[in-house]
Structure formats: C-alpha cells, structure tokens
Amino acid sequence: MISARRSFNGSLPVAQLPRLCEALAASDGTIAYDIEFDRDELGIAYLGLRAQAELTLTCQRTLEPFAWPVRIDTRLGLIVREEDEAGLPAGYEPLLLESAELRPAEVIEDELLLALPLIPVKPGLEESDHTWSTDPEQTEEPQRPNPFAALSSLKKG
C-alpha cells in the first residue's frame, strides 16, 4: 500500500466499531474518512488519516445525551519496533505494526476513542454560575443581619 501510494475514502457505520460503541450513548451515525498511505521526504512510511463524525455522548452533569462533533487529521508513522518511535519526526504519532496486516477500521476506532473527552460535558455547561474557592477571604456569601445584634443594644442599656 505504501509503495503504491494508495488512498481510500468512504464512510463507516459507528455501530461496526464495538469498542467505540461502549463509550457512546448511542451507536447511530456514520464516520466519513480518508486514509492515505505514503512516504514523506525523509522516506518514513506513514498513514494519513482524516475522519469526521458526530458521536452521541452522555453529559456527566445532566446525564442527557448530546451530539459531539469529532474531526481527526493526523499522520501516523508506521513502525515495526517500539525503538523506532524515537526516529519519527515531530507531528507524527507512532502506529506500531504487529503484523503485515493493518485493519483501517481499527485504526479509525482507536483515533476516535483518543479524541473523546475524558469527562463529557454538554457544550455550554462548562461554566458554572458560582465560583468555588477554598479561600475564606474570597467567599461570595451575601451579608445577612446578625440575629443577636438586638441583644447587644439591650446589654449596653
């Protein structure tokens, strides 16, 4: 594939990616992808991957599903030994080939899993209307009248 500079594009149903489906609220939708195999000017074999999808996640604040747009544009340096990772140029992510066979759907699934947020929060809910602080000087509690203030005037009199 690399020497022939092959490229592929198409769409893949989200439901066909079982590991990704485990992390999602729903397995509907499709993933549009472009994959190209080539060598760069230094002779390093790489796989260029561009993918885009709208995945359904569960908001961890409201526990409601929401659509999360994902765009991936990465270049994966193909290596056969872990030691070869040090020889990859900046901007390349390593892809360790354990055999001569490469499954593009698994590569797409791996990259989508890496693109998911650690704690999904529906856009717009990131900011809270209250600022939390551990500093007692910065608390924003409203000033309330002291219920014992009337007693102090009786004590003086």
pLDDT in tens, 122-151: 887 655 555 555 665 655 556 777 777 777
pLDDT value at residue 67: 95
Domain parsing of the chain, residue ranges = 7-127
78 or 124: which leads in pLDDT:
78
DSSP 89: P
pTM recorded for the entire structure: 0.74
Residue of 74, 29, 20 lying closest to 51 (CA atoms): 74
Instruction: Calculate what percentage of the chain has a pLDDT beyond 90.
Output: 64
- With a cut of 70, say whether residue 89 has pLDDT above it: yes
pLDDT in tens, 27-43: 999 999 999 999 999 89
pLDDT value at residue 148: 75
Residue ranges of alpha helices (H) inside the chain are 18-23, 104-115, 149-156
Residues in the chain: 157
